[in-house]
Amino acid sequence: MKFYVLTIFPEMVETMLRTSILGRAEKNGILEFDVRNIRDYSLDKHKKTDDYPYGGGAGMVMTPQPVFDAHQAIVREEGHPVRTIYLTPAAKVFTQKDAKAFAKEEELILLCGHYEGVDQRVLDAIVTDYVSIGDYVVTGGEIAAGVVVDAISRMVPGVLTNESSAEEESFEGGLLEYPQYTRPEIWNDVKVPEILLSGDHAKVDAWRKEQSLLRTREIRPDLLKKEAPPSHGE
């Protein structure tokens, strides 16, 4: 799977994507990252990428020309349309379900906004999907792009070495993760739950499932409501 990222801070994105598991997946040829500096596509004599907002107000707005030309260059190279995500807090919140769906694409383009936003006309021209990472504001789309690319990547077969580990994690199955323990058996006067030492895999699995349920009920009861089967007569 190939990810294109359009940004005015390419070093920031490169660092996030070429470190740890994602970096290894790129070396192994499972993922490919193409991070492009929007500034390189600016036709302005000072390579400007922003301008004052029409109608006034604080901050600057990203100008359409360099964003559009960078996007066009990628689409031309690919030779076919490519799903294009714009990272913005003014969108539906990205979920594990979305990560799985995007992981089926061969290529994705992510556009990182900055300042007060991007000229709406270029968004209307190139964006297929508007994505937020949560109900708070971060300064640039770069951090959000890192989150979204990571979440999608780990749904691509071969990215995680232990394939089963994605399935056992939080949200797969709609529940939070159960607690984990390692050696020593007693630490800080606290013993590891006895059942984990029993060697009875069926009992361990049942205990973990129960812990997941208890945790979810306590911390994220909203997840349990979402998982409810459709009721009849509504």
Q: How far is the CB of 149 from ligand 6GU (least distance, A)?
A: 12
At which residue do the structure tokens 């539906």 appear?
Answer: 92
Q: What CA–CA distances, in Å, run from 168 to 25, 162, 208?
A: 20, 11, 10
Of 16 and 175, CB closest to ligand 6GU: 16
Please name the residue that has the structure tokens 């709406």. Answer: 120
- Report CA-CA distances (Å) from 234 to 71, 196, 223, 225, 227: 46, 43, 21, 16, 17
DSSP H or E segment with residue 35? strand 32-37
Q: How far is the CB of 16 from ligand 6GU (least distance, A)?
A: 14
Q: How far is the CB of 88 from ligand 6GU (least distance, A)?
A: 5
Nearer to ligand 6GU, 62 or 175 (CB): 62
Q: Which is nearer to ligand 6GU, 140 or 173 (CB)?
A: 140
State in angstroms the smallest separation of the CB of 59 from ligand 6GU: 13
Shorter beta-carbon distance to ligand 6GU: residue 53 or 173: 53
Residue 32 in tokens: 């490919």
> Site residues (CB under 6 A) for ligand 6GU?
87-89, 131-134, 136-138, 140-141, 144
